[in-house]
């Protein structure tokens, strides 16, 4: 029986990974694209995402009260972990201050000085993760840790996130290489196993 982590990797490679020519939001181009929402919004994918993230948060001993990230990539991760954990609250970070109502940038959990984990679906340059870290600190949260589902291993994203995290550990559940390798294994299992 596959572990939750392995099953999540298999789902990501099947539902979220595509080879081809793609323009990235960072302005660069790539021979692959990862749309994690195809997995994190899938019923089974959401369960697995919640389980894998929550297990990792517990193993780090971060003792967080909540987790959140920049809308929209972080949204399904936040909900999945909150539901699976039954104890971690969620918050969402708007890309800019709301221009109506209460004008809040942070929605959901809002207890200042709480320890929180910042999450994201894909980290390339780290820009969206960094925005979430900065908004969380500006609000008054203490960032205990930072996590992403897939790290693209490009454009010094890890270094930028670690610098912004200022001492909070940054963990990626998978790298883009992990997902690519699994995608290729699923497409041609005998070819890959014969090379090992």
Q: What residue segments make up the domains of the chain, in order of their start?
A: 4-187
pLDDT class of 107 with cuts at 50, 70, 90: very high
Q: What is the pLDDT of residue 28?
A: 78
The DSSP H or E segment spanning 89 is strand 89-93
CB atoms within 10 A of CB 125: 19
Q: Please report which confidence band the pLDDT of residue 194 belongs to, taking 50, 70 and 90 as the band edges.
A: very low
Whether residue 191 is predicted with pLDDT greater than 50 in this model: the reply is no
Give me the sign of the Cα torsion angle 113, 118, 124, 128.
negative
Q: Among positive and negative, which fits the CA dihedral 180, 40, 146, 73?
A: positive
The two counts, helices (H) then strands (E), for the chain are 8, 8
Beta pairing partners, 147: 119, 171
| Of 115, 127, 113, nearest in space to 68 by CA | 115
Q: Per the structure block, which two tokens stand in for 13?
A: 């490679």
Residue closest to 76 by CA, chosen among 99, 110, 53, 103: 53
The total number of residues shown for the chain amounts to 196
- Bridge partners of 122, per DSSP, are 150
Structure tokens at 3: 């572990």
Spatial separation of the C-alpha atoms in residues 31 and 78, rounded to whole Å: 29
pLDDT at residue number 193:
41
In CATH, 4-187 is 3.40.50.2020: yes
Give Cα separations from 106 to 21, 96, 100, 143 (angstroms).
35, 10, 14, 14
Residue-wise pLDDT tens digits, 70-93? 999 999 999 999 999 999 999 999
């Amino acid at each position: 029986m596959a572990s939750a982590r392995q099953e999540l990797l298999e789902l990501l490679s099947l539902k979220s990974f595509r080879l081809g020519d793609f323009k990235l939001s960072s302005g660069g181009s790539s021979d692959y694209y990862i749309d994690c929402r195809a997995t994190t919004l899938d019923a089974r994918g959401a369960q697995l995402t919640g389980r894998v993230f929550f297990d990792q948060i517990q193993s780090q001993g971060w003792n967080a009260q909540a987790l959140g990230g920049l809308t929209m990539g972080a949204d399904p991760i936040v909900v999945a972990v909150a539901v699976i954990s039954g104890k971690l609250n969620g918050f969402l970070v708007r890309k800019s201050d709301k221009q109506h109502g209460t004008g809040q940038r942070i929605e959901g959990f809002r207890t200042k000085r709480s320890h929180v984990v910042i999450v994201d679906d894909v980290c390339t340059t780290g820009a969206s993760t960094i925005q979430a870290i900065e908004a969380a600190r500006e609000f008054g949260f203490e960032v205990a840790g930072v996590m992403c589902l897939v790290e693209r291993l490009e454009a010094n994203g890890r270094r930028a996130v670690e610098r912004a995290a200022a001492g909070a550990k940054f963990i990626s559940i998978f790298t883009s290489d992990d997902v690519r390798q699994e995608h290729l294994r699923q497409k041609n299992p005998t070819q890959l196993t014969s090379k090992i």
